Structure 1
């Protein structure tokens, strides 16, 4: 009788997950390590940045020269400001801002065998026209222009009390071929025209005096003005993960031919000083500091910011806008459409002057016109339904002029201090978040 043989038991096949899981964990671990190494982090607060003064900041910012968007001085200033805010422990996001700006490529007047170099009036479209020169008074009325036969002539007018935009508008309505402005007045504010379709050029000094005597001569006016797309940037400084309970902002660009001490290096320096004072404190976690670009070109930067960051602003209690706070044209004042903010401002700093910001703009939404009052970047936030407070010391004599080259650091420091006291007052006060406006804007309350 033979022994019965039983088959030996076999090991069951290894489950797939036992070898697949480690393979899956390896890339996850690698990804996690990469994320950990590259996660957003707050830069360290540098002692040298905290020790800087407003005077030092202004000396550096002034060295870059005028700061219109698209110019070397503008780009140098933006890079330096971003570096200063990073050195204070804030993560700086640089938001691209694209816009078109006019550039004068050269303007000349040729008459009686002479060639005069001039500058295109800001807002004129350029072009070339040949016609007889006609001298008119600085304040020539439309009726006088018609009586003098301004149609199809190159108008020569001295500067006077009439705004350049008004002179240009009357020249266009009279059917003239162009305008030569003999600018012999003291160098005053930059006067922007309203996108006039004719060549319009300013002459200064001896050239202006000579041309005023050449009325009746045939002349050729050439003005090469090009519109260029330029790249600007908003600078958004905030602690990682922070929500903007209060947003403090100022624009850092300038108009042409000025370093913009009061308009608006003063506001920029006050924002930087406020950021410096709270660097490394709990209050810094509740604030966003934003330096806007291209305010002088129509609030382009702040409008771009609002379009992109509006979801992040639903919990924002107020936006504080600082513009022209470094020259004591008047005492520091505030303007707001929110009465509770005015009360908070008075409680925070009783000497504050309250003023009306009356310049109006509007938006049409589904057939409804909404009017927002203001002359600076806070207007963009009003359109979002956000409470705003505008801090301003009034227009000084060098507004938009080459002479805007001086500011008072003590006034800048005072503004920064008021901003922080006011911020604490706003954070202590009652506040109800407003719901999103919705697609049509019909649910917004301004």
Structure 2
């Protein structure tokens, strides 16, 4: 018998510890299976179009959309309108995806114009960044050139003019500001005496660019030549909008119907551009249940009024699928008969537009004047959402009825549902013609290494 002095000095052998993979593998399989089941349950699915959605009319759509009020990015009505539109597309059987659109917007915080003992409130012109300056008020005549402004002694002073004097001159506020800036102006005061008060964008110069009411203007104008103090307070904030993309699962953007959904500040944006939005919705309704639905994207762009921000964001994000796009159809201001329905179209698509609608009005748009470089269009101008597509070599058709008297104004509150339906039907027929016509896609990136290729 062993005594205590011979006690065991090491533990008895034990069962080896199980390798980590013995329990990690089953756990991974369970987690992977759960994720796969969740992903399968939540995958995008095509749903049948609801009969009530198919039976709706542009008149009913406008009655609902107008209730949201003005739709500039960051306004409450803007987001409510977007959510309502998403519900309409889903009811037609189109899954909806969102695309963030980030930008900076200026918000007027008030200002003043002081001349001697007179002080009147001043509001920043849309797009300006505000500032504070002192100088003599220099009266500008209608249509004054930069040289004429300089001759009047504008350098180092503050320009004073009226809306009515420039309204019929086909000179944009941007051109007015650029002329005054080149002439050395330290600021600009515009008397808003036009019959229709329009929101017109101006360059973001670091100078006070303001407007005063017609009543206050009548008190200011006789004081031209006197020293003035001009203050404009503007807050620039980063805001986020959303592009809405409605498309059947697996659909490629062989044709793309587009319109911008935002409006300028303070405007219900009936013609500009609820009319285009409702025409796209009408096109989606007409296409539902047909082969066109599987070959089209319906896109509502945000922040068009802030410089085509939404459409530029979209094109940057979807360059590869856009190689398959035979036609981008942009509908902008199609609900008021300022002029007959017209198109500014790519040279290859214009014959199709004339075939679909004989005698259609053809107009020139700055975006149609382009220069090709390696399959891409350079130096493209224009003021609507077809422009970024043209710059990337996509064939476009700008569908438009011209500028009406309420353009960019608070009085832009009416549209014709019949004209909206007509524009949507024309866009559908043109899309079908583009899909039926022979087409060879461009390959602008072949042989070149550059962004997006």
Give how far 1:26 is off.
4.5
Per the alignment, residue 174 of structure 2 pairs with 165
State the distance in 2 between where 1:388 and 1:170 align.
33
Which residue does 1:381 correspond to in 2?
Answer: 389
- What secondary structure is seen at the aligned counterpart in 2 of 1:395? coil
Superposed CA offset, 1:347-375 (max 9, x none): 22224223322347879989x98233543
CA distance in 1, matches of 2:422, 2:386: 21
Asked if 1:251 is matched to 2:260, the reply is: yes
* More displaced stretch, 407-416 vs 351-360: 351-360
Q: Is the contact between residue 327 and residue 393 of structure 1 (CA under 8 Å) also seen in structure 2? A: yes
**Would you say the 8 A contact 2:377–2:390 is kept in 1?**
no
Equivalent of residue 325 in structure 1, options 309, 322, 334: 334
User: Contact (CA 8 Å) 1:314, 1:436: kept in 2 or not?
Assistant: no
Deviation by residue 1:192-229 (Cα, 9 ceiling, x = unmatched): 22333311211113211111233354432110112221
Structure 1 residues 354, 78: CA separation in 2 closer, same or farther (over 3 Å shift)?
same
Aligned counterparts of 2:356 and 2:449: Cα–Cα separation in 1 = 33
Q: CA RMSD in A?
A: 3.1
Measure how far apart 1:46 and its partner are. 2.6
Q: In 2 relative to 1, CA 412–106 (structure 1 residues): closer, same or farther, beyond 3 Å? A: same
Instruction: Tell me the equivalent position of 1:40.
Output: 44
Residues 92-103 of structure 1 aligned to structure 2 (within 5 Å): 92-103=96-107
Count of residues in Structure 1 that have an aligned counterpart in Structure 2: 426
Give the match's secondary structure for 1:213. Answer: helix
Query: Once the 2 structures are TM-superposed, how far is the Cα of residue 126 of structure 1 from its aligned partner?
Result: 0.9
**1:431 maps to what in 2?**
439
1-side partners of 2:256 and 2:234: how far apart? 38
Q: Distance in 2 between matches of 1:209 and 1:363?
A: 48
User: Hey, what's the Cα distance between the residues in 2 that align with 1:303 and 1:234?
Assistant: 11
Q: 2:178, 2:23 → 1: CA distance?
A: 81
Change (3 A) 1:330 1:217: closer
Structure 1, unaligned runs of 5 or more: 1-16
Find 1:62's aligned residue among 60, 66, 75.
66
1:199 is the counterpart of 2:208: yes
Q: Is the contact between residue 120 and residue 202 of structure 1 (CA under 8 Å) also seen in structure 2?
A: yes
TM normalised by structure 1 equals 0.86
TM-score normalised to structure 2 length: 0.84
1:27-52 deviation digits (Å, cap 9, x = unpaired): 55434322321222124433332222
Q: C-alpha displacement at 1:408, in angstroms?
A: 1.1
Contact 1:169 1:196 (8 Å CA) reproduced: no
> What corresponds to 1:355 in structure 2?
363
- 1:397 aligns with 405
Match of 1:4 in 2: none
Provide closer, same or farther for how the CA distance between residues 108 and 415 of structure 1 changes in structure 2, counting only shifts above 3 A. Answer: same
2:280 matches 1:271: yes
Structure 2 residue 241 is the aligned partner of structure 1 residue 232: yes
Aligned: 1:314 with 2:323 = yes
Tell me if the contact between 2:329 and 2:396 (Cα under 8 Å) persists in the aligned partners: yes
- Is 1:121 paired with 2:125? yes
| CA positional deviation for 1:410 | 0.6
Match of 1:181 in 2: 190
Secondary structure of the 1:185 match is coil
> Hey, what's the Cα distance between the residues in 2 that align with 1:369 and 1:306?
14
Report deviation, 1:95: 0.3
Alignment check: 8 A CA contact 1:133 1:219 kept: yes
- Note closer, same or farther for the CA distance 1:130–1:273 as it changes in structure 2 (3 Å cut): same
Give the match's secondary structure for 2:338: coil
Displacement after TM superposition at 1:92 (Å):
0.5
| 1:285 to 2:294 alignment | yes
Alignment partner, residue 302 of structure 1: 311
* 1:21-40 map, 5 Å: 26-40=30-44
Query: Where does residue 231 of structure 2 map in the other structure?
Result: 222
Q: Which secondary structure state, in structure 2, belongs to the residue aligned with residue 305 of structure 1?
A: helix
